Amino acid sequence: MGLENLVKFKYDVMDKISPTFCAAKWKQVTIHLQNGHTHSCHHPVTHKVPLEELKENPSALHNTKHKKMLRKMMLEGERPAECDYCWRVEDNNSNSISDRVFKTADTWSAPYIDDIKNKPWDVDEVPSYLEVSFGNVCNFKCSYCAPHISSKWMEEIEAYGAYPTADNFNNIDTLKKQNTLPIPYKDKNPYIDAFWKWWPAIANKVEHFRITGGEPLLNKETYKFLDYIIENPNPNLNLSINANMCPPNDLLNKFIEKVKIIINEKKVKKFKVFTSCEAHGKQAEYIRFGLDYNLWLANIEKMLKEVPGLGFTIMSTYNALSIPSYIDFLTDIVRLKKEYWNPKFYTSSPVLLDIPYLRYPTHQSVFILTEDFVKEVYDQVTFIYTNLENKNWQGSAMMGFHEHEAERMKRIYEMVLTHPKKDNEAYNDYNRKNFRLFVDEHDKRRNTNFVQTFPQMEEFYKHCGTFL
């Protein structure tokens, strides 16, 4: 759906229900089975699924009492505070299309809008988009990640403690208070048990199923699920898996072989891999510690060559460290888009780019940067618009970025442009101090060197040091 149609959809469909309506609260869910947390849409913070709710109703993995109250608020025109990502986008520019519009207009939600508005707010909903994390086992320690999501982070924090920022970044005591500590990988997990009780009852109603992590390719439950699909095909299911694309080679090959069976024998409607990167080369490796950037690219290309029909979405969580090398990163993405478009298997490029902005940790958010970086963000928007897709004579997209990819980058620029205001400076300086504390500790623990890796940010690094 084009941007003009999205604006019309918002006014003609969504606003007639409520100015705060978002179908994702009903039809989309991410469930972190390693700690029993859930949220609908990846922007709001997660909340714990009470075990007493789960005992009688395994669908409480999605339909918690907390979430049902938020659905009621949305139907009545109230803004749930946890949805501030979209309120911020909309309040910054009333014409901006926030993610609640993209999500509500998507194919997995739009057909259900009438059903949602015509039934009681407190019924148990079957999600059409279901995302599950089976565990936190991971071989990366991404700079914006956390111990309950990455076992490598957990090992580091257990060995050295929290980072010495003002908020004690990744403090295990904080995770305990938030009730987000993961159940050990080898222990019995009531949330995983509940999932396998719930899944057979909804398997044929879910349209999109996505496995996230941790690193899913390191988790035995991932292969159990793939085997379930091989034995129980669902031609209406869109199946996706998050993968950092740097697993041990034997596990990558095992994964590829199962994906080949699923795609070649049409076990599902479509199969897609989601992977992440938000910078280029050594700078990307600093952000996503454990990443080998060249291996990441090579493994993406290996899968695209060996499994025609497979799609990739690259999730690019735009943050302060993205800026210096982002055009080089975008250049690699454009090349993938061009080289692997094949009209035999795809109507458009098999490689898509999603660009959300990083909200937390705030000390790595793009909003902490000084105004001299704004032009670089502008140049990145310009690069994307300069490399928009074109059409061949049959109307198929052949190359370049989609309009909605460009819009996501453009709205980040608009937010960066308006953010550095005097009333934000105290908060910005607080985060700049934390930024310096974080990267210095990062370099100490991980034998990295921020200034050598990000020479373009040396002056900013020194500026942040003035707040120590």
Tens digit of each residue's pLDDT (9 = 90 or more) over 303-326: 999 998 899 999 999 999 999 999
Cα gap 423→465, rounded to integer Å: 21
Q: Which long-range contacts (CB under 8 A, 24 or more apart) does 96-102 make?
A: 96/411, 96/414, 97/3, 97/6, 97/7, 97/10, 97/407, 97/411, 99/41, 99/43, 99/356, 100/14, 100/21, 100/22, 100/24, 100/41, 101/6, 101/9, 101/10, 101/14, 102/6, 102/404
Side-chain-side CA neighbours of 8 within 13 Å: the count stands at: 5
| pLDDT at 354 (0 to 100) | 95
Which of 368, 290, 260, 270 minimizes the C-alpha distance to 322? 368
Which of 328, 282, 318 minimizes the C-alpha distance to 410? 318
Q: Which residues of the chain have pLDDT under 50?
A: 393, 422
Instruction: List, in sequence order, every beta strand (DSSP E) within 390-464.
Output: none
Cα gap 86→98, rounded to integer Å: 5
pLDDT in tens, 144-173: 999 999 999 999 999 999 999 999 999 999
| pLDDT at 3 (0 to 100) | 76
| pLDDT at 393 (0 to 100) | 46
- The CA-to-CA distance between both ends of the chain, in Å, stands at 48
Domain ranges (residues) in the chain: 1-276
Number of helical H runs and strand E runs in the chain: 21, 11
Contact 138, 218 (CB under 8 A): yes
